[in-house]
Copies of this chain bind each other. A is one copy, B any other.
Amino acid sequence: MNLEDTLERYSSIVENELGKYFESLRLEAGGYHPSILESYKRLEEYVRRKGKRLASCSTLLTYEGYGGKIDEKILRVAVGVEIYRHSILIHDDLADKDETRRGGKSLHVMFSEVHGVRLGEGLSMFIGDIAYALSLEAVLTSGFEKERLLRVVNLFTESYRRVNESQILDLLFEREEPSVEEWYTMASKRATSLFTTTMVTGAILGGAPEEDIEVLRSAATHIGYAFDIQDDIIDTFATEQQYGRCPGGDLRKGKKPLHVVLMLELGGDEDLKIFRKLSGKGVLNGEELEILKEMLRRSGALDAAKAESIKHARKAKDFIAKTKMKEKSKKFFEDFTDYITQSLEWYR
């Protein structure tokens, strides 16, 4: 099965499970207070928006890779993984004041429209907190053996801390010009943490041999870097049609994706002056965005960032090959890293 078919098949299983999960959550909340029910309904709409479900699919595929059978237990964990991922996105949207997410409004925007900005922002912060608690709850009630549950809770906790540390740096770098080393410090806790959590969760619960856990951690780290760099390139270089929303958001906010950090090192003085004037300016018109993109191309920063992504994708594949996962699962992660590498060519 090719990557697209696999993702579609597994994500539809996860989406079905999310539906059942939120139905019972709604029943429970309805007995508590109408405003809590309303809040959970908004959370449900946000989490259930159409997406690739890469996070939970990674967990399911790793689990199967070590002989696990897809059943209620692992699907409950997959629900936890999806809600975990969204708990991070809710706070990310809020801190960045992003108004949309996957083709819909971000949660703080939905709440602010009804309750005003202060209450709306507070409500979405609390819903983000609740989502994280729900994700742990889903894991804890999955029915796996206690020793393994404890290890997975450890993973979720470590990852949540690291992702939030990364978020702090991501915010502060808006006002700074970080080095490549600092970019890696920041990114080492971001997508890398997420892939580590999703893949190692599947491995622990699937009963992977101990030596494979470490190999998977390395694989996940490199998948994370490859993905992170590619994802940021998309934000700058995709057309609105390819991206589904307005490109250039990171640049407008003064974010420092790797291709920008590299340009700060590779660019000429004249370029840097223009970049500093335009970056973080807030509204960028089409022409200004083109100027920035041209500078990123001309300085060699775009190509250098792509080369980094490809390097990590290659390392990821090497580590995946070293695991004892079944062929089908290996193929999924290999296809996924190939997809990242190939898709880089679409953005110039």
Contact = CB atoms under 8 A, between A and B. Distances in A.
A279 B91 CA distance: 31
Contact of A119 (B122, B128, B158, B172): B172
Contacts of A125: 91, 94-95, 125
A86 to B, nearest CB: 14
A122 B154 contact: no
Contacts of A91: 125-126, 129
Interface stretch (A30-38, A225-233, A340-348): A30-38
B164 A126 contact: yes
Interface in A260-296: none
Interface of A is mostly: helix
Given A140-B154, A146-B150, A154-B140, A35 B168 contact: yes
Given A115-B175, A182-B33, A168 B126 contact: yes
A4 interface: no
B161 A134 contact: yes
Nearest to A95: B122
B157 A115 contact: no
B132 A132 contact: yes
Interface residues of A, number: 50
A133 B119 contact: no
The oligomer's copy count stands at: 2
Contact of A129 (B32, B132, B175): B132
A9 to B, nearest CB: 31
Q: Which of A35, A39, A186 has the most CB atoms of chain B within a 10 A radius of its CB? A: A35
Contacts of A158: 133, 137
A97 interface: yes
A54 interface: no
Q: Which of A33, A115, A118 has the most CB atoms of chain B within a 10 A radius of its CB? A: A33
A199 interface: no
Interface string A105-144: 0000000000100110111011111101110110010000
A292 to B, nearest CB: 22
A165 interface: yes
A137 B157 contact: yes
A126 B167 contact: yes
A242 interface: no
Interface of A: 32-33, 35-36, 39, 91, 94-97, 115, 118-119, 121-123, 125-130, 132-134, 136-137, 140, 146-147, 149-150, 153-154, 157-158, 160-161, 164-165, 167-169, 171-172, 174-175, 182, 185-186
Given A128-B129, A133-B157, A133-B158, 5 more contacts: A94-B125, A122-B167, A126-B164, A126-B167, A133-B164
The 10 closest A-B pairs by CB, nearest first: A95-B122, A133-B161, A129-B164, A126-B164, A133-B160, A136-B157, A130-B164, A126-B167, A122-B171, A35-B172
6 contacts: A32-B165, A36-B168, A97-B118, A119-B171, A126-B167, A132-B160
